[in-house]
Amino acid sequence: MENSSYLVVYLGILLALLSVATFFVVRQVWVTRRVEVTLSDLQTKVSQQKGNALEYYELGSLLLDKKLFAQASTYLKKALKELPDDEVENSVLVHNALGYAYFAQEQFDLAIRQYNEALKIRPDYVTALNNLAHSYERKQLMPQALETYEKSLAAEPTNATAQRRAESLRKRLA
């Protein structure tokens, strides 16, 4: 009798674990499918007619997520061209995303230019500061990288990435 109760408990635990795993798999499939449909719809729309800045930005962002960096940069550049003059604040996000696309393609000078464009508009944009510093690091411009991480920490003292990287650079430069 005791063995059969262990078996029932074991099967119950196994069934619960399988149910949880199934939930997460189905959820991931649903999210992926939704992203693919959105991507397809946007690509179809902008190929048939001129898109707006938001559509180009969304399309570029989805392509960044899929690691299609060259395609993403094309759409992000279109987003910048289509962005109305009164939406300068939104261009910060596009410049940062475009910088990331260039960074991922190891085009560090272009990435640095885009991050600096974002920072001209919003000097305390911590994400662009961290990205700019990382680009400097990849170009072996360690003093500029440290200075940029310190600017990031001035804007957000609890920034774990900037804290960790700045400390590492201080040790390397000492």
Each residue of 131-174: pLDDT tens digit?
999 999 999 999 999 999 999 999 999 999 999 999 999 998 88
Q: What is the pTM of this model?
A: 0.78
> How far apart, in whole angstroms, are the C-alpha atoms of residue 158 and residue 48?
46
pLDDT at 90: 84
Q: How much of the chain, in percent, has pLDDT values that exceed 90?
A: 61
pLDDT at 113: 98
In the chain, the amino acid numbered 125 is: Y
Residue with the larger pLDDT of the pair 80 and 7:
80
